[in-house]
Amino acid sequence: MFLLIGAFFAGALTALAPCILPLLPVIIGGSMSGNVHDKKRPLIIAGSLAASLFLFTLLLKATTLFIDVPPQVFVYISGAILVILGISFLFPSLYERLILALNLQAKSQQLLGKANVKKGTFGAVVTGAALGPVFSSCSPVYAYILATVLPVNFGLAMLYIVAYILGLSLMLLLIGFVGQKFVRRLRFAANPKGWFNRTIAILFIIVGVFIITGFDKKFQTYISEHTPFDFDGLSSQLLPSSNKEANKGVLNVKPYPAPEFVDLNNWINSKPLELKKLKGKVVLIDFWTYSCINCIRTQPYLKEWDKTYRDSGLVIIGVHAPEFSFEKNPNNVRDAVKKAGLNYPIALDNDFSTWNAYQNQYWPASYLIDKEGNVRRQHGGEGEYKETEMAIRELLGENGGNVPKETTKALSGNVPVSDAQTPETYLGTMKASNFASGKPLVKGQQAFESAKLERVNQWTLGGIWNVDSEGITAVKDSTLTIRFAAKELYLVPGSNSESGLTSLSLNGIPISDDAGDDVKNSSVSLDGARLYKLVKFSSFRKDSTLQLKVPAGVQLNVFTFGS
């Protein structure tokens, strides 16, 4: 219920976001152009925008119907429609001839179920519909619903999306009505061939060109960086908290019954387990995925807790929820478990059924369950190892349980993470960010020229690459360059990568002293889908540049970093 309400208010707040600012002239202008006395225009624009945004989400995000169609194509179409509408509004006689020639006025009458639709209705419908794809990436809450709720509960995600779109539409409707009411007081605005309406038409064309060229994103970034209003921060407050905190201390949640495992399979190190049969034990559930560096960094602590407290009644269960498709392969998971030396029970949650039952949001995440089967502590992300071990010991000691005197190194504190560290950098279109190039990163085969990296966290491509939603595959020998801030850099390739040596250059010279464990002679052999350690500095570095020369057939998915 909280997220349903949060989605509604996030939609309303999105109308005021920096990413929407370049589009407000279209919303307001579209509500006023044509016949300024037509009070229905804002309603038509808001309604068609809502329908367009919902359909765009449904077709591209929730189905595989357009899996081979790059989302950017729809953005290009939106920009082109706005340019065409702007030209039509700039030359009203041309617009009227187009409507008559294509019989669009009659069609819009049929669509809206009205016998008498005023001139300009079709333009209002198309204006709203064209903006749907452009509005689809402008809120942390919207992104959260797509990334976290949609993969595990389609129906609930659609409900949240509808709430989000309703909030957005009502706010845009308000903006349209206020703008229209203001313009009615201006006599010069009533002339469809006057300078005021021509200015609006030109704004349509400018915004359309900005969308097609991608300049609108640069403008949005500039506004975000030069305004004191933190829209993303405020929107993020509407997201549900990962911890149901009820009291301070290591047992940080109000006790609630732990959900039973749902559709876990391919158990490793154990026969299938059920929580109801583990009552009397203290259970630690660890949600993880094997290519996640944050998950990998928790494994030494998990292994030590398993070794130290198993005989006292602790049962650790790893629930493997895949981030990439290759992580669904049971053999890949078994290989990763064996290499990491994990001896506690692990099961695959490929459909996110148990993940959904726990309403989990993070890799890694831990849920500590007491002897009665109640969740008593939960934590998302790395860190708080000291608190987790203290909670384990406290729960083991309840009802006269045995607690060993020895402890582990976790009680010495947390793993430090620098705020300046480069975030996880995904290379596929689904989550890509900070890509620097003269052309957008869209699905399909493309030839790229390496761009200058203006700031830390950016990356660029050179050569011919085949791009998909999860990663990029070199068609011919090509290059990837990334500018980063970290102590360590890791790479996760795809499972379909062909064997081949990838050579590495750090700050312009072949990597040597600062090479990671998987690098030999300034090269790394990518022979499977796992995490590769490429760079290992002795201390945190604020600005370094790594270039990879990638042979044909190698797929790369994500860079992760450590400090």
In this structure, the answer to whether residues 357 and 442 fall within a common structural domain is: no
Q: Which two tokens stand for residue 186?
A: 């201006």
Is 277 a domain residue? yes
Q: What confidence tens digit (pLDDT) does each residue in 475-534 have? A: 988 999 999 999 999 998 876 555 667 889 999 999 988 999 899 999 998 877 778 899
In this structure, the answer to whether residues 104 and 204 fall within a common structural domain is: yes
Is 418 a domain residue? no
Is 250 a domain residue? no
Alpha-carbon gap, residue 294 to 187, rounded angstroms: 62
In this structure, the answer to whether residues 405 and 507 fall within a common structural domain is: no
| pLDDT class of 381 with cuts at 50, 70, 90 | confident
In this structure, the answer to whether residues 80 and 130 fall within a common structural domain is: yes
Query: What is the CATH number for 472?
Result: 2.60.120.260
Q: Is the pTM of this model over 0.85?
A: no
In this structure, the answer to whether residues 364 and 466 fall within a common structural domain is: no
In this structure, the answer to whether residues 230 and 117 fall within a common structural domain is: yes
Alpha-carbon gap, residue 365 to 382, rounded angstroms: 8
In this structure, the answer to whether residues 232 and 365 fall within a common structural domain is: no
In this structure, the answer to whether residues 269 and 348 fall within a common structural domain is: yes
Is 242 a domain residue? no
In this structure, the answer to whether residues 407 and 435 fall within a common structural domain is: no
Domain boundary among 412, 441, 460: 412
Query: What is the CATH number for 316?
Result: 3.40.30.10
> Mean of the per-residue pLDDT values for the chain?
77
Helix, strand or coil, per DSSP, at residue 161: helix
Answer yes or no: are the C-beta atoms of 492 and 560 closer than 8 Å: yes
Is 134 a domain residue? yes
Q: What confidence tens digit (pLDDT) does each residue in 128-180 have? A: 676 666 665 556 566 666 655 665 567 777 888 888 888 888 887 787 777 66
Alpha-carbon gap, residue 123 to 131, rounded angstroms: 13
> CB-based contacts of 271: which residues, under 8 Å, 6+ apart?
none
| pLDDT class of 116 with cuts at 50, 70, 90 | very low
Range of the domain at 280: 256-412
Alpha-carbon gap, residue 8 to 165, rounded angstroms: 7
In this structure, the answer to whether residues 429 and 408 fall within a common structural domain is: no
Is 251 a domain residue? no
* Rounded alpha-carbon distances, angstroms, from residue 140 to 235, 240, 315, 356, 418: 6, 12, 36, 20, 23
Q: Which two tokens stand for residue 475?
A: 């068609």
- pLDDT over 50 at 40, yes or no: yes
In this structure, the answer to whether residues 211 and 263 fall within a common structural domain is: no
- pLDDT over 60 at 70, yes or no: no
In this structure, the answer to whether residues 469 and 399 fall within a common structural domain is: no
Structural domains counted in the chain: 3
Is 68 a domain residue? yes
- pLDDT over 60 at 551, yes or no: yes
| pLDDT class of 548 with cuts at 50, 70, 90 | very high
Element (H, E) at 294: helix 293-309
Is 241 a domain residue? no
